[in-house]
Amino acid sequence: MRFAIAVFVLLCAPAMAAEQPLLREVAGAVDPRDLHATIAKLVGFGTRHTLSDTSSKTRGIGAARRWVHDRFVEIGRHCGGCLTVDMPEQSMSGERIPTPTAIVDVLAVQRGTTDPDRVIVISGHIDSRVTDPMNATADAPDADDDGSGTAAVIAAARVLSRHKFPATLVYAVLSGEEQGLYGGKLLAQYAAAHHWQVEADLNNDIVGNTLGTNGVIDKTHVRVFSEGTRSIETPAEAERRRYNGGEVDSPSRNLARFIDGLAARYLDDFSVRMVYRTDRFSRGGDQVPMLAAGFPAVRFTEAIENYTREHQDVRMESGVQYGDVLAAVDFDYLAQVTRLNAITMAALASAPPPPATVKIEGAVSPDTTVSWSPAPGAASYRVWWRDTTALRWSDNQPVSGATTLTLKNVTIDDWFFGVSSVSADGFESPVEFPGPAGAFVPAH
Ligand SMILES: [Zn+2]
């Protein structure tokens, strides 16, 4: 009887990965006052509209971008030059950009110590807008959209640059989002051109509001949006996935589950509301061009939005304040979202990559055999499974010294399976679902 209970516990208890003091230290270093100072500075540029003035030293997107560049350089000075700052630029035109305009992103790269081609990205957009998306001169403070995301990116750089990680971290401040995700496209091109193996893009867009249009207050959740099936799926892959499952197991979705688990463990009174969608209904963000390029990406967004603040001329109307003003940002809340981003980056960059390929076999057998390719830097692995209707991975078995495991009396027909990689010091990667539907590094 005791043996039976032990076996049951071994097979069915959810994993407890090792407690990581590093993640508590990283979370503890995020400071709401620092976030406040960043957004106040950004608001001070008047407008950061993509088509606004770029020559002024005090107003417009050019001055704002140069300030971010200098801020990254300053942070880099404090870590012995650990950041390489670049401002990729491309002339773009199209919807909402009538004449060719320089789209400029500001990127700070913290090169990984042992696995520098693996890249973890955090992004936010610096550009702003008012009611008329073509109005490039009116004051457009956009403290929340997306001063909050930009502040989270810079704060992550400040906190994480004090540590060294096996994988590379990229802090990305993007332009042109409000005109049509131009800066996100530029980031995706830059990543491909530099042969980055992007394992995750954490895109932060409106992450500082806690008072909803309807008066509802939510200070304890952040939404994490993730696509269910891959943007780059081929018709043949889609056919296999429709038949065998994988609708809710893209790498982006398993990244969202990874973030959900970190919040539950390392943050107090703060949790993830996973949304099984690429973005809010019929709306978009800079994670979308990254997904289109085949990179796993999620969107962080405040739990509740305030539509009197988003994309509005700053004004008082019938006693209601319209416009995205500094006073409306909840900095303690933004600090929680920033902590979650920073610990996610630290956890991903400290862990080995998920196995490049995961396979399952076992049709017409009571057992399932899970096999995978070895992941560089992995000391062990964990095979995970869950009921096909469950939201989260529930069951696991650790494996060391092998890249295959046969699960006795776990039939392939009734469960979904995945594998994570674990470092010698207990950092665990996200779970990778088998085949092209779940691969963090796509085969094509
Ligand atoms: Zn935005």
Average confidence score pLDDT of the chain: 95
Tell me how far apart the alpha carbons of residues 122 and 169 are, in angstroms, rounded to a whole number. Answer: 8
The CA 314 to ligand 1 mean position distance, Å, reads: 16
The CA 150 to ligand 1 mean position distance, Å, reads: 10
- Amino acid 253 reads R
pLDDT score at 444 = 74
The CA 2 to ligand 1 mean position distance, Å, reads: 56
| Mean pLDDT score, 430-437 | 97
In this predicted model, what pLDDT tens digit does every residue of 206-261 receive, in sequence order? 999 999 999 999 999 999 999 999 999 999 999 999 999 999 999 999 999 999 99
Least confident of 1-10, 17-26, 113-122, 320-329: 1-10
Would you state the structure tokens that stand for residue 333, as one six-digit string?
A: 């809340």
Residue 71: CB partners within 8 Å, gap ≥ 6?
38, 154
| Mean pLDDT score, 310-321 | 94
The CA 206 to ligand 1 mean position distance, Å, reads: 6
109 — pLDDT class (breaks 50, 70, 90): very high
Cα–Cα distances (Å) from 38 to 43, 56, 95, 160, in that order, read 9, 19, 30, 17
CA dihedral 163, 169, 175, 181 (to 10 degrees): -140
The CA 148 to ligand 1 mean position distance, Å, reads: 9
The CA 39 to ligand 1 mean position distance, Å, reads: 14
pLDDT score at 443 = 81
Closest listed residue to residue 274, CA positions, set 261, 285, 287, 265: 261
In this predicted model, what pLDDT tens digit does every residue of 81-102 receive, in sequence order? 999 999 999 999 999 999 999 9
Instruction: Return the DSSP state at 418.
Output: E
- Amino acid 230 reads R
Would you state the structure tokens that stand for residue 298, as one six-digit string?
A: 């999620």
In this prediction the pTM is 0.95
H-run or E-run covering 172: strand 167-174
- CB–CB of 175/149 below 8 Å? no
Residue 270 has pLDDT above 50, yes or no: yes
Residue with tokens 């963090």: 440
Residue 10 has pLDDT above 80, yes or no: no
Tell me how far apart the alpha carbons of residues 343 and 115 are, in angstroms, rounded to a whole number. Answer: 19
Residue 418 has pLDDT above 50, yes or no: yes
In this predicted model, what pLDDT tens digit does every residue of 328-350 receive, in sequence order? 999 999 999 999 999 999 999 99
How many CB atoms neighbour CB 130 within 10 A? Answer: 25
170 — pLDDT class (breaks 50, 70, 90): very high
How many CB atoms neighbour CB 211 within 10 A? Answer: 18
In this predicted model, what pLDDT tens digit does every residue of 58-80 receive, in sequence order? 999 999 999 999 999 999 999 99
pLDDT score at 9 = 43
In this predicted model, what pLDDT tens digit does every residue of 12-23 receive, in sequence order? 444 557 899 999
Using DSSP's 3-state secondary structure scheme, residue 181 falls into coil
Closest listed residue to residue 75, CA positions, set 189, 182, 156: 156
The CA 423 to ligand 1 mean position distance, Å, reads: 36
pLDDT score at 16 = 57
| Mean pLDDT score, 160-183 | 98
The CA 310 to ligand 1 mean position distance, Å, reads: 9
